[in-house]
Amino acid sequence: MLGKILLLWVFAIGGENHVPSDTLDLQEIAVYATPLDKYAIGQQVLTFDKKLFKEFAGRSLGDLLQQNSGLFLRQYGEGMVASLTIRGTSAGHTAVFWNGLPVNSPSLGQTDFSLLPNEAIGNIAVHLGSSGALYGTDAIGGAVHLYSDLRFNQGHQLQVNQGFGSYGRVNSAVSYGFSDQKFVTKTKVYWNNSDNDFKYRDLTRPGTPEARVSNAAVRQKGVVQDLAWNINPSSQLSTAVWYNTTNREIQPLMGSNSKDVQEDNHLRWVLDYKYFLGQNALNLKAGWVKDILLFNRNSRNETAKYFLSGEFEWNFHENLSSKLGGRYTYIIGDLSTYLADEERMEWYSSTTYRPLEKLAFSLNLRQAVFNHEFVPFTPSASGQYDLIKKEKHELSIRAAISKSYKIPTLNDRFWIPGGNPELVPEKGTSWETGLSYQKNFKGNGALNMEMTYYRMDVENWIIWLPQGSIWSPTNVRNVKNQGLEVFTEGNYSFGKVKLKAHVNYAYNQARNQTKINSNDRSFGKQLPYTPLHKMQWNLRAQRNGLEVFINQIYTGERFDTTDNESIVAPYTLWNAGLNYQWQFFKFEGKVGLNIFNFLNEHYQAMKLRAMPGRNYQINLNINL
């Protein structure tokens, strides 16, 4: 009965529930990393099927998340800036990591997800909810982790991917890897080009005639090199370098034919050394993140971050693990209007304890200092209790309470004119509770369901306000957020036909609690471009080597001002496609066809930013 009631919650999804593994076997684990959810008991960590990265080859991680999750990205056009909002927070309230390095821009305080090509990413995980104690600054709404995906003992592997699509889309990628028991190397090179000259209805001209987007071409290329070396049975060295450059014309607003261009260059390097003492591990990490942004060929903004960190993890026994670490960050910014640098230090500890088979807790603590000022102490505690744990089905209840913070960006403090050096960190306080349900259908399938309710207060939220003819940031806004996330994932086999489906639904309420002045009508109103509702589902059917899928995304209305007096219309997109796995002598691979927005919906994610109608993409993948 309970199962039937839970089934009526609406649907399935979820991230994989990792089972923390304390057994270290360097023959199988290429680059050892603590499972992300090991110290996040009671919170949700979403992972995504690796197939999606192939299906979204030539497109950005922003596109993948927008069309395959309940997360909303503010997209300023096809291939244009895409900023992620988690749980109604701002773009700067999501921490983004690449192989453990924080990669949010120190000047802008956020990541543009349109600049993260799927070809360069081995895997991702999205930690929903405040996680400042685990990850440090920016993780007020959540955190996104990008990983390399390396494995030993795979021999030689060569992959070639070639795609073609509408509006001049051409994407190419070549990946070569070799690994034996001691050594692994993987090199990826990719090129993604799109003219983006799609048609749209121009809502700014009488009769709303059809027009074609101009000045929206994107040219992207990059290379990723991963290396790992098992020095001896107890130590491992790994490194990764990622260079990505994107030349974009900036798609103008409807009614405009502006010709802005932007070039983004990113160079990221990380070096990890791990030393294992029985079940315990020492991890030393160094990193460098260099960002260069060139706007209209003459405004150059350059930042660099240098990292040194160390962490020791004790796995006392199978029910108790703990880690203690510290990280030093040096940041330097050479921007078009200012030059600035800063130092950050942070210390943290995390502990997970499972006193009973059905009960587990996590406790995380973090203290950060930036420019010799203490950030408020940041703790979090969470737990999970298994109400039912049987072979066929499991039901768990979970809860978490956490604090989080965001250090003001370099631009917030030093931009000339207007930068405000007196800004204090934004801070968040959050709690959440949820249920997890898993069911097996006698080996024919499985169902996973997650439902989470959260509340969050964000204080000292920084906004830029006009002060005469200049704008200056202040810690003026407080916001109360609450919402519901429902994820369901299921699969079932009918003979040779395998069905797999997931549904995401997110309800995010983010209400402003501050009035700029007595006439301000925004008190108690939903923050701009934060949809109350987003729903997405995907159904796949597979038989032998053929797979077909269909996908629907509904994005609810958004307000474009703080007083909620004007609305950007809700929209529904339908995507579909098929993949065929083929083999020809020694060659094997996959050919895929995607039809995006096949009902040709005219829509805008952001006001007056045209988005493409029906469009196609073919990807051919060859493995040697």
Partner 1 sequence: MKSSRKKLSYALMNILRDSSKNYKHMKKINYLVLLFGISATLFMACGNELEPSLSAGTYDHGVLIINEGNFFSGDGEITHYDPMTEEVTNNLYQKVNGVVLAAYIEQVRVFGDKAYIVDSNQGGAKVVAVDKASFVEKGRVEGLEIPRDVAVAGNRLFIADWGNYDDQGNYTNPNSFVAVADINGGEVLEKITVSSRPQSIVEFNGNIYVACQESMEIIKINPSSLEIVARATYSAIPSEFLLNKEKLFLYSTMDQQIHLDEINPEALSASGTIYDIPNTSRLILNETEEALVLTSEFSEDFSYTENQVLSFPLSGAGSITTIYEARSLKGIGLDKPDNQLYIADDNGIQGNGTVIITDQNGEEIKKLDVGRVPSKFHFY
18-57 positions binding partner 1, by CB under 8 A: none
Nearer CB in complex with partner 1: 21/467: 467
**Identity at 509, one-letter amino acid code:** Q
Least Å from the CB of residue 188 to partner 1: 35
Dihedral over Cα of 249, 253, 255, 260: its sign: negative
Other Cβ atoms less than 10 A from the Cβ of 277: the count is 11
Other Cβ atoms less than 10 A from the Cβ of 138: the count is 29
In our burial notation (b when 16+ CB lie closer than 10 A, e otherwise), range 471-491 reads ebbbbebebbbbbebbbbbbb
Nearest to 304 by CA among 93, 101, 116, 84: 101
Region of 131-139, 159-167, 269-277, 467-475 interacting with partner 1 (CB under 8 A): 467-475
Compute the distance between CA of residue 428 and CA of residue 379 in angstroms, rounded to an integer. 11
CB within 8 A of 274, min separation 6: which ones? Answer: 32, 235, 236, 237, 238, 281, 282, 283, 284
Residue 39: CA count within 13 A, CB half-sphere: 24
Least Å from the CB of residue 430 to partner 1: 24
Nearer CB in complex with partner 1: 232/299: 299
Region of 360-368, 382-390, 440-448, 577-585 interacting with partner 1 (CB under 8 A): 440-448
Nearer CB in complex with partner 1: 232/566: 566
Nearer CB in complex with partner 1: 204/371: 204
Region of 102-110, 164-172, 371-379, 601-609 interacting with partner 1 (CB under 8 A): 601-609
Nearer CB in complex with partner 1: 242/505: 505
Region of 106-114, 263-271, 281-289, 291-299 interacting with partner 1 (CB under 8 A): 291-299
**Are 558 and 568 a contacting pair, CB within 8 Å?**
yes
Segment 172-211, which members bind partner 1 (CB under 8 A)? Answer: 203-208
- Decide: is 6 part of the binding site for partner 1 (CB under 8 A): no
Least Å from the CB of residue 572 to partner 1: 5
- Decide: is 443 part of the binding site for partner 1 (CB under 8 A): no
- Decide: is 442 part of the binding site for partner 1 (CB under 8 A): no
Segment 509-548, which members bind partner 1 (CB under 8 A)? Answer: 516-522, 525, 535, 537, 539, 541
Give the one residue of 328, 347, 377, 494 binding partner 1; rule: CB under 8 A. Answer: 494
Least Å from the CB of residue 173 to partner 1: 32
CB within 8 A of 585, min separation 6: which ones? Answer: none
- Decide: is 562 part of the binding site for partner 1 (CB under 8 A): yes
Give the one residue of 570, 578, 591, 616 binding partner 1; rule: CB under 8 A. Answer: 570
Tokens of 276: 């294992």
In terms of DSSP bridges, do strands 393-406 and 235-249 run parallel, antiparallel, or are they unpaired?
Answer: unpaired
| Contact pattern for partner 1 over residues 472 through 491, marking x by CB under 8 A | x-x-------------x-x-
Least Å from the CB of residue 443 to partner 1: 13
Compute the distance between CA of residue 584 and CA of residue 187 in angstroms, rounded to an integer. 25
**Are 392 and 376 a contacting pair, CB within 8 Å?**
no
Give the one residue of 601, 616, 620, 623 binding partner 1; rule: CB under 8 A. Answer: 601
Nearer CB in complex with partner 1: 322/474: 474
Nearer CB in complex with partner 1: 379/570: 570
| Contact pattern for partner 1 over residues 313 through 342, marking x by CB under 8 A | -----------------------x------
Tokens of 606: 């952001």
- Decide: is 299 part of the binding site for partner 1 (CB under 8 A): yes
Strand partners, 85: 72
In terms of DSSP bridges, do strands 497-512 and 470-494 run parallel, antiparallel, or are they unpaired?
Answer: antiparallel
Instruction: Quote the DSSP letter at residue 23.
Output: -
Compute the distance between CA of residue 327 and CA of residue 333 in angstroms, rounded to an integer. 19
**Are 568 and 560 a contacting pair, CB within 8 Å?**
yes
CA-based max dimension of the chain: 75
Total of chain residues touching partner 1, rule CB under 8 A: 78
**Are 44 and 608 a contacting pair, CB within 8 Å?**
no
| Contact pattern for partner 1 over residues 244 through 263, marking x by CB under 8 A | --------xxxxxxxx----
- Decide: is 282 part of the binding site for partner 1 (CB under 8 A): no
Nearer CB in complex with partner 1: 273/554: 554
Compute the distance between CA of residue 328 and CA of residue 3 in angstroms, rounded to an integer. 49
Least Å from the CB of residue 446 to partner 1: 11
Least Å from the CB of residue 93 to partner 1: 18
Give the one residue of 298, 372, 391, 585 binding partner 1; rule: CB under 8 A. Answer: 298
Least Å from the CB of residue 282 to partner 1: 46
Nearer CB in complex with partner 1: 69/364: 69
Least Å from the CB of residue 196 to partner 1: 16
**Are 510 and 89 a contacting pair, CB within 8 Å?**
yes
What distance lies between CA 181 and its chain's CA centroid?
32
Instruction: Give, for 134, the enclosing helix (H) or strand (E).
Output: helix 132-135
Least Å from the CB of residue 68 to partner 1: 15
In our burial notation (b when 16+ CB lie closer than 10 A, e otherwise), range 56-83 reads bbbbbbbbbbbbbbbbbbbbbbbbbbbb
Strands (E), 495-586: 497-512, 533-543, 546-555, 558-559, 567-568, 571-584
- Decide: is 10 part of the binding site for partner 1 (CB under 8 A): yes
Give the one residue of 30, 33, 36, 503 binding partner 1; rule: CB under 8 A. Answer: 503
Region of 42-50, 182-190, 217-225, 460-468 interacting with partner 1 (CB under 8 A): 460-468
